[in-house]
Amino acid sequence: MNDLWNNVLNQQYEAALCTLNHCIVSSPDAAWQGKVVNMTFDQAVFHTLFFTDYYLGKCPEDLQQQAYHQQHADFFADYEEMEPRVQVQRYTKESLLDYLQFSRTKARETIAEETADDLAAACAFPPKTFSRAELHVYNIRHIQHHAAQLIMRLRMDYQVDTPWFGSGWRS
């Protein structure tokens, strides 16, 4: 049973991250600094990847301890995502594509290590009160939510179509 759930989670993370990857690479330069709800396109991509990374951890304290974060300290700056304030930092496509690859690898490695007991246990991200398994579903839904906002902006303003990414996709 655990192999089944791990496979499902891996495929759904991959499909969601493929969709986000498509948004990044398909974004015209004019869209990159454009508004997507209350952020710019690049900030919305960063926000999505940041919380993907965050919720893939075992607990909130793991985030800043990762080698990737320490090696890219300027990229994360003062962790403005963790504060209730307007984002100001800007990001390049290249830096976000690199972060996406990190997140993709982290998702595969994290899911591979999850046991049935891990997935059934309460998640360690207050105030969330659901299981670690549901946290993964929540995380995938978050990626999809923001990818949909980006897709809508690309389609409405730049006539960029987005294919459906499902099981077995890799981009």
pLDDT of residue 139: 98
Overall fold of domain 2-158 = Four Helix Bundle (Hemerythrin (Met), subunit A) (1.20.120)
Strand partners, 35: 40
pLDDT of residue 4: 87
pLDDT of residue 3: 87
Q: Where are the domains of the chain?
A: 2-158
pLDDT of residue 2: 75
DSSP character string of 61-93: GGGGGSHHHHHTHHHHTT-GGGSSS-------H
Helices (H), ranges, the chain: 2-26, 29-32, 41-56, 67-71, 73-76, 93-113, 116-120, 132-158
pLDDT digits (tens, 9 = 90+) for 84-115: 988 999 999 999 999 999 999 999 999 999 99
* 24 pLDDT higher than 70: yes
pLDDT of residue 166: 81
What rounded mean pLDDT belongs to the chain? 94
Sequence-distant (≥ 6) Cβ neighbours of residue 49 within 8 angstroms: 20, 96, 99, 100, 103
